[in-house]
Structure 1
Amino acid sequence: MIQRVFNFLSTTALLTAAFTAASASAPDTEAPSAGMLPGQDEIRDTATAVVDTARVAGIDDLLARLGDKRVIYIGESHDRYEDHLNQLRIIRGLHEQGHDLAIGMEFFQQPFQAALDAFVAGEISESELLKRTEYFTRWRFDYRLYRPILRFAREHDIPLIALNLPKEITDQAGDGGIDSLIPEHAALIPADIDRDDPAYRERVEAVFAMHPKDDDADFEHFLDVQLLWDEGMAARAAGYLRGHPDKTLVVLAGTGHVEYGHGIPDRVARRIDVPAATVVSGKMRPFDPALADFILYPQRVELPATGLLGVMLDTESGGEGLGIDGFSENSGAKAAGVEAGDRIVSVGDSAIDSYADIRIALMDSRPGETLPVEVLREKMIGGSERLTFDVELH
């Protein structure tokens, strides 16, 4: 392990030391099998260096320094698997230290808490969890990124806490601001929303300037959405901490909700005074010691590609299965004989009634794999017929 005094290192030297520590501490990490239930030895750790305000160190040192915290915020880039493996590594380490944990998650919305409870209790399957939480229409990022964390929580009976406000609320605020919310939705948002932090406003303005937007985009509405996300998640986290004084809460959220403490952390602190720490990845951003209490420098880890049918789906029309509007270039489904207008009713062993069913059926597939796809096809005369095609996934 490399340990050096932060004050004596230039930024360049510090980053060099961090990457040296990462490359020396472990070999390149391979992604685990997507179907794997992670346990103590089944997920390989990412090779990660840690920078805190005093030194360059490693994950084990980080865990020791988190031991007295009641709430730990771990920022993520949603599509970076190494970030999620580090989240799991910290959760696992804290659990092994004997902490009574709960995990707060940005990527599940508060009305679906009962589904998370049922999943942890072993009452519903992973597939049922994804359907009940409407995961694929409300979050959309590859579920396999988060799967090891959720399975670890279920294996060890660690509560999962849905932090985010319903999408319907933030969508409406984006269109018309907080004042446009219907009474039913207004009743679900925190009563105390702090708009007076100039540093927070400045950061949101910088994001708004870079954000693709229409000519009529309104910054104040954009700010309202950010405030609702951060205040909503903070109120939920603070309420959980207050109601469960023996728990250590690990909050998983996008780095923008954690860095500099301006998003969730300072809004939790406004509601409840508990020892806290922030952890973010320093990859792909300029080094700034004010970014967080601890900055991670993990090696890149890629998930294996998922197989694709190569179809464009009609998710709006009713009827059995899902309709096919068209095909992508080099579509395996089209090559196998599937036609536009067909309705997919099964893929492999999975019945298809919704978009979530398609995503779940293909989640652990690979390009080049062949799966039977059953469709309904309308005949010119006499209703429809069921046809099965062997489709090579791309």
Structure 2
Amino acid sequence: MRRWGRGGLAVLLAVIVVARCCFGHDLIVRVSDRRNVSFGEMMKDLARARVIYAGENHDDPEHHLLQLRIIRELHRAGLPLAIGMEMFTAADQKELDRWVEGKTGLAEFRAFYLRNWTLPWSLYGDILLFARDNRIPLIGLNVPRQITRKVAATGFASLTPEERRMLPPAVTCDVDSAYMAMIRRSFSNHDANPRTFKNFCEAQMLWNKAMAYHLAEFVRKNPRRTVVVITGGGHALRGGMPAQAVKENPALAGRVVLPDPVIPPGSITPADGDYLWISH
């Protein structure tokens, strides 16, 4: 995939320097033309999308504040919303529905959250409370962690018929060169263990394909809702979950918002995402 040349990088870096001096704490770069845009300009564009993929580094509180700002603004604009979350599985849907309907207390739901996701409640609590307080549906997108761990260890072919229930029929490590490079970087950052790169890649693709499948199923049943997808930056990259969602439904290409440092400012292209959001 073609990356920006030296001239393009110089333009982007100059935009970053000027924006940090003159536009306050947040810098939003529209990747298509490398221009700094306001939050309002970005939101006008996002409001036209069927799906907004809002990437994150899971443990960065700033990234979750940015996600919540997007959700709040879309809600304020009167759009019927849903929030898709990597942090919950499709099997969790009844519990998510009970929370949004106000049938589950805070202490009980916090315990449920912590059984699904190991990071502190404080990182996602404001998003989950906003969804409950405004009756915004939450969508469990993921598959059980033990399934992806098994695929990472022994490959997709090792799954039993029961384990494949509610999963895509086939998973292969078939991605474009840019996304393959990202998966290789991720693999190299993991501790050495017996699993092969092929199995690791299949596990990542299972994650992307399954989340795309569950997203597409929700949109099919709820065609009028705009969905904000909360997921790790590696999945939010256009070559990740969005590419798989397009295979399920071309209307799910959506918009991709990536916060720094999910991807280095000098290397992002329109093939990766639509907006780069740098805070503070």
Work out whether the TM-score is over 0.5: yes
Q: Does 1:174 align with 2:152?
A: yes
- Cα distance in 2 for partners of 1:160, 1:220 equals 32
Aligned to 2:229: 251
Shift of 1:192: 4.5
Shift of 1:284: 6.6
Aligned to 2:3: none
Aligned to 1:126: 106
Aligned to 2:242: 265
Shift of 1:194: 5.1
Conserved? CA contact 1:120–1:157, under 8 Å: yes
Residue-pair matches, total: 267
Normalising by the residue count of structure 2, what TM-score does the alignment of the two structures yield? 0.89
Shift of 1:7: 6.8
Shift of 1:234: 0.6
Aligned to 1:292: 273
Shift of 1:212: 1.4
RMSD of aligned residue pairs (Cα, Å): 2.0
Structure with the largest fraction of strand:
1
- Cα distance in 2 for partners of 1:266, 1:198 equals 10
Which of 88, 97, 102 is equivalent to 1:108? 88
| 1:383-394 matched pairs, under 5 angstroms | none
- Cα–Cα, structure 1 residues 18 and 194, in superposed 2: closer, same or farther, change >3 Å? farther
Conserved? CA contact 2:85–2:141, under 8 Å: yes
- Cα distance in 2 for partners of 1:284, 1:202 equals 14
Aligned to 2:188: 209
Conserved? CA contact 2:176–2:239, under 8 Å: no
Structure with the largest fraction of helix:
2
CA offset digits 1:76-100 (Å, max 9, x no partner): 0111111101100000101111111
Which of 92, 96, 100 is equivalent to 2:72? 92
Conserved? CA contact 1:208–1:219, under 8 Å: yes
Aligned to 2:56: 76
- Cα distance in 2 for partners of 1:201, 1:295 equals 21
Conserved? CA contact 2:90–2:142, under 8 Å: yes
| SS, match of residue 296 in structure 1 | strand
**1:236 corresponds to which letter in structure 2?**
H
Normalising by the residue count of structure 1, what TM-score does the alignment of the two structures yield? 0.64
| 1:1-394 matched pairs, under 5 angstroms | 10-21=11-22, 24-25=23-24, 47-52=25-30, 53-54=32-33, 55-131=35-111, 133=112, 135-193=113-171, 195-199=173-177, 200-214=179-193, 216-259=194-237, 261-274=238-251, 276-283=254-261, 285-287=263-265, 288-290=267-269, 291-299=272-280
Conserved? CA contact 1:163–1:236, under 8 Å: yes
- Cα–Cα, structure 1 residues 161 and 284, in superposed 2: closer, same or farther, change >3 Å? closer
Q: How many percent of aligned residue pairs carry the same amino acid?
A: 33
Q: Which deviates more, 186-195 or 243-252?
A: 186-195
Conserved? CA contact 1:74–1:278, under 8 Å: yes
Higher RCO, 1 vs 2 (CA within 8 Å, ≥6 residues apart): 2
Structure whose CA Rg is larger: 1
- Cα–Cα, structure 1 residues 9 and 61, in superposed 2: closer, same or farther, change >3 Å? farther
**1:146 corresponds to which letter in structure 2?**
Y
Conserved? CA contact 1:84–1:145, under 8 Å: yes
